[in-house]
Amino acid sequence: MKLRIFIFLLPLLLLSTTTNAHNITHILAKHPDLSTFNHYLTITHLAAEINRRRTITVAAIDNAAMNDLLAKHFSLYTLKNILSLHVFADYFGAKKLHQITKGSTTTSSLFQATGEAAGTSGYVNITDMKGGKVGFNPVDSDSDQPMATYVKSIEELPYNISVIQISHGLSSPEAEAPTASPTDLNLTSLMAKQGCLAFSELITAQGADDTFTQSVEGGLTIFCPSDETLKSFMPRYKNLTKEGKTSLLLYHGVPLYNSLGMLRSSNGLMNTLATEGANKYDFTIQNDGDDVKVQTKIVTATIKGTLIDEDPLAVYKIDKVLLPRELFKTAPPSPAPKSPKSKRGSTEDDDEADAPGPAEDDSDLVADSTSNDGNRFRGGELLSVGFSLFVGILMCIF
């Protein structure tokens, strides 16, 4: 029994170490001539994305250059794509920019990472030109565009974030392509195209798509189980009643917009589209380092990718089906609870990890659920139980 107590204390200990290394809004606030750029980073939610990443470069443009961009009257969603071209997934301090080997390098931008960009769009060429100038050029930009050049360094926190100023806004036809407002999106086909096909098909088959679609305008966050995850769950899904199936699907939607940044800064209870009355069909958001976890009484899922994050709609891919206790009985305590294992084993960067490991998934689902097959020890679990014990013993001593 003691062991279990320590295991549950462990996440609390880890939580207290969660801090953001940098705050782009704060950095840019010291530069009034970059205030428009700063403002748009905030309202497009790119600021939160920048803050949660490490090893990143932000190429800011001044208010005059921002006004040129705003004069084109892009929608906020298109503007987000254009501004994400200004955030590079690598660290370029002033020194590195002026010492680029072979004079030129190509870096990927956040636009590339959003999945909105096709092919090479989303990559930016950086060229160390004659006379100490450094040029920036999106790989698929129109050739008649003036090349943006390096102006100065704004702030360097090696090797977390480098903020520089460049002369012009970066753009490309792909980034400028009109982006539909989330309220006009076809939710089920959006999910189907980005790795949640099985979940979207269940929603359609169950006639629950209207409930989801009608919720978008007021704000909606969906946690969709990946196709791999859902496949192994299907026997148990089929076993539910018609009402049970609908409740389970609606349980994966929260009638509020939550950006990843908001989820990261808010541990606590969330109501879902299935909630009817207090303490029914709710779950808990729990941060764990860079991971955001969704905890029901029965299972803990981790966010593994973002399908869309545009106010008022966010859709995240998760690695477990969320099992409400109203439909699935709590599992009897098993000798090797899974939670410490996933806590300790989730150190890899989730940014690009869109596809959860399928083999891992299936067995996790079984062990976390009502099935009585909870006796499977693996090396990692033994290690983490050992670690928990160690922490527990330390806590007894002090």
* Interface region with ligand NAG, contact rule CB under 6 A, candidates 58-66, 170-178, 235-243, 354-362: 235-243
Whole-number minimum distance, CB 393 to ligand NAG, in Å? 28
* Interface region with ligand NAG, contact rule CB under 6 A, candidates 2-10, 154-162, 275-283, 382-390: 154-162
Among 99, 239, 241, 375, binds ligand NAG (CB under 6 A): 239
Identify whether the C-beta of residue 91 lies closer than 8 Å to the C-beta of residue 60: no
Does residue 372 bind ligand NAG (CB under 6 A)?
no
Whole-number minimum distance, CB 172 to ligand NAG, in Å? 9
x/- mask, ligand NAG, residues 89-118, rule CB under 6 A, reads ---------------x-x------------
> Which DSSP helix (H) or strand (E) runs through 355?
none
- Rounded CA-CA distance 210/196 in Å is 17
- Determine whether 359 is exposed, middle or buried from the number of CB atoms within 10 Å of its CB (0-12, 13-18, 19+): exposed
Does residue 183 bind ligand NAG (CB under 6 A)?
no
Q: Which two tokens stand for residue 136?
A: 């920036």
Among 15, 157, 262, 355, binds ligand NAG (CB under 6 A): 157
Q: Pick between residue 117 and residue 385 the one whose CB is nearest to ligand NAG.
A: 117
Does residue 205 bind ligand NAG (CB under 6 A)?
no
Among 35, 63, 145, 213, binds ligand NAG (CB under 6 A): 213
Q: What is the largest CA-CA distance in the chain?
A: 72
- Rounded CA-CA distance 191/308 in Å is 9
Does residue 29 bind ligand NAG (CB under 6 A)?
yes
Q: Pick between residue 7 and residue 308 the one whose CB is nearest to ligand NAG.
A: 308
Whole-number minimum distance, CB 137 to ligand NAG, in Å? 4
Among 18, 25, 35, 267, binds ligand NAG (CB under 6 A): 25
- Rounded CA-CA distance 57/27 in Å is 13
Identify which of 96, 94, 74 has the alpha carbon closest to the alpha carbon of residue 85. 74
Could you please report the per-residue DSSP string of 15-73? HTT---S--HHHHHHT-GGGHHHHHHHHHTTHHHHHHH-SSEEEEE--HHHHHHHHTT-
Among 67, 75, 160, 214, binds ligand NAG (CB under 6 A): 160
Query: What residues pair up with 127 in beta bridges, in sequence order?
Result: 104, 135
3-state SS, 106-174, equals: EEEEHHHHCCCCCCCCCEEEEEECHHHCEEEEECCCCCCCCCEEEEEEEEEECCCEEEEEECCCCCCHH
Does residue 67 bind ligand NAG (CB under 6 A)?
no
Cβ neighbour number for residue 352 with a 10 Å cutoff: 10
Among 235, 268, 277, 379, binds ligand NAG (CB under 6 A): 235
Does residue 125 bind ligand NAG (CB under 6 A)?
yes
Does residue 20 bind ligand NAG (CB under 6 A)?
yes
331 secondary structure, DSSP code: P
Q: What residues between 307 and 346 interact with ligand NAG by CB under 6 A?
A: none
Whole-number minimum distance, CB 388 to ligand NAG, in Å? 24
Whole-number minimum distance, CB 39 to ligand NAG, in Å? 12
- Rounded CA-CA distance 200/206 in Å is 10
Positions that interact with ligand NAG (CB under 6 A) = 20-21, 23, 25-26, 29, 104, 106, 125, 137, 139, 141, 157-158, 160, 186, 188-189, 213, 235-236, 239
